[in-house]
Chain A
C-alpha cells in the first residue's frame, strides 16, 4: 500500500494507441526539423508573428500535416513534402543539378513575375537527417545569377543527403516556398 502518494500526480496508465501515434509523429517531426532550426527561425518568422519559437512551431505543424506517412508504429517523414520555408515570393525553376564528391551545384532560372526581384537572395540547403548535419551556401547568390554552389561538409561526402532551395528578398523578410532538389547519394 502506498502511504505517501501525491494527489496531484495522475496515476500512470497505459497510453492509448492514438496518443502513442501522435507522440511518435511529434518525435519524428522534431528530429527532422531540429538541426534546421537556425534557418527555420528566419524562413518561417512571418508565420510566427516575429517569434522564433512560434515560427518553429508553425513549421513543425506543417510537417506533421503534410509530410508524414504510414501508420503507427511505422510512420516516417517524407522529405520531398517538407517545407523548409514559406511565403509569397515566386520560386525558381530548377534547370540542372550537378553533384560532385565535395560540392553540389544548381543551375536555375526565374519566371517573369512582378514580385520577383533580380537581387532576391537564393539559399541552398543540404541536409542529412540521419547524421544531423546540415550546410548552406556561405556566399551570397542572387536570383539573376542563375547558378549556386554549396561546398559539402565532410560528413556528407560519404553520406546521402537531401537538397532544398528557396529565395528571400534583400531585407530577409519575404520568402518563397522551398523547393525540394532531390536525394543525393555519395559519388564514386
Chain B
C-alpha cells in the first residue's frame, strides 16, 4: 500500500491502485503500472534512429561502467555515471553516414572535469598485444598535480574488446601500458586518456589519441 508522508501533495512510496510511488537519489517518482499495448507497430524512421543511437551508445558505455564511475563521478548526485556519460555523449558522439549510424569514437568522452589534460599524448604498439601511451609529465603550476592518476582506455572495434592500464600510473611518470592479453592484429583500435586527482574528486576532460592499425 502506498504511504503519502507529506499529505496529498507529498511524494509517496509503494503501490496505490494503478500507480507506484518510489524515490531514487532523492528524486521522487510516480510510475504507472505496465500496460499491455497489444501488437507492436513497427517504429517510424525517427524512432528507429533513436533506438539505434541508444543501442550503440549503451553498448559502448555499459562495459566501462567502472571507468565512468571515476570519469563522471562528479555528476552522480542525481544520476548514475552511465546516465551522465550517456547524456553528455548523446548529442556529440554520432556520425550519420550513408551506411547508417555509427559512433564517432574521437568525439566520445569518458570523463569530464576541470583538471588539465597532459598534452603531447601519443600511443604506439608494443608487440601485438599491448599499447604504450605517453604524455607530457610536466605540470605548469595550475590545474594539475604530479600525483594525478592516469586512466588510459583502449577499445578494439572489430573484436569488441576493452583494455585499460592496470597499474594506475601517475601524471609525472609520463607513460602507461594497456595490455589486451591477446593478439590484436589488423584491427581499428581507439585510445583515450584522462586524469583524476589523488582524492578521486576532480577529473580532466578525455583526450582521444589516434593509433595506427597494428600490422605485424
Residues in A lying within 8 Å of B, measured CB to CB? 4-7, 34-39, 125, 132-138, 150-151, 153-155
Contacts and interface: CB of A to CB of B under 8 A. Distances in A.
A91 to B, nearest CB: 21
A7 B7 CA distance: 11
13 contacts: A7-B9, A39-B142, A132-B205, A133-B116, A133-B117, A133-B119, A136-B140, A136-B142, A151-B140, A153-B119, A153-B136, A155-B117, A155-B119
A138 B114 contact: no
A137 B143 contact: no
Interface of B: 9-10, 30, 114, 116-120, 136, 138-143, 205
A136 B141 contact: yes
Nearest to A127: B142
A134 B30 contact: no
A134 B142 contact: yes
Contacts of A151: 138, 140
Interface of A: prevailing SS: mixed
Contacts of A6: 9-10
Given A34-B114, A133-B116, A138 B140 contact: yes
B116 A38 contact: no
Contacts of A125: 142
Contact of A38 (B9, B118, B138, B142): B142
B141 A135 contact: yes
Nearest to A155: B119
Contacts of B138: 151, 153
Contacts of B205: 132
B71 to A, nearest CB: 16
Contact of A137 (B9, B30, B141): B141
A8 to B, nearest CB: 8
A4 B141 contact: no
Chain B CB count within 10 A is highest, among A39, A151, A153, A155, for: A153
Given A4-B30, A153-B119, A154-B120, A132 B142 contact: no
B140 A36 contact: no
B9 A134 contact: no
Contacts of B141: 135-138
